[in-house]
Amino acid sequence: MDKTATLNLRVNPQLKKDAESILNRLGIPMSTAIDIFLNQIVLVEGIPFPVQLPKAPASVDLTGMTEEEIHARIMEGYNDYKAGKTSDAKKFFDKIRKEDKSNLRVVEEYEKEKLEGTLETRPIEELWKDLNI
């Protein structure tokens, strides 16, 4: 089949760079990868992979909560803040970023430490200072 049609599209420069890096390692030009993608759309009559939101842990997934449950969770967090029961968000997110496969494990560990009362906490003002807020 002749390749005479042209696609002009704008993409995030970093996304393009990252994709090109991977495709180069595979020995596949970007145009071939896009051609493969378009062929797969035709073959499966749709997007050739699941397009869905990531599953959130039940403890933070608002879609399954009633308005009262959401309000209770917000108040719980506010009361923890008022009582000085805060955690170091910078350390928490640094830990998540270091995980390359299972971020859920970090969240579960956080919830476990919170329930067991072994979670390291410190005043929010210290965190703001560390984050230059």
Claim to verify: residue 36 and residue 77 sit in the same structural domain: no
pLDDT on residue 83? 87
118 belongs to a structural domain: yes
The total of structural domains in the chain comes to: 2
Claim to verify: residue 79 and residue 119 sit in the same structural domain: yes
Domain that holds residue 94: 62-130
Claim to verify: residue 34 and residue 67 sit in the same structural domain: no
pLDDT on residue 82? 87
> Residue 90 in contact with residue 131, Cβ under 8 Å?
yes
Could you report the average pLDDT of every consecutive run of 10 residues in the chain (133 residues)?
Answer: 86 93 91 93 92 77 85 88 81 71 67 77 70 65
76, 50, 77, 53: which is closest to 63 by C-alpha?
53
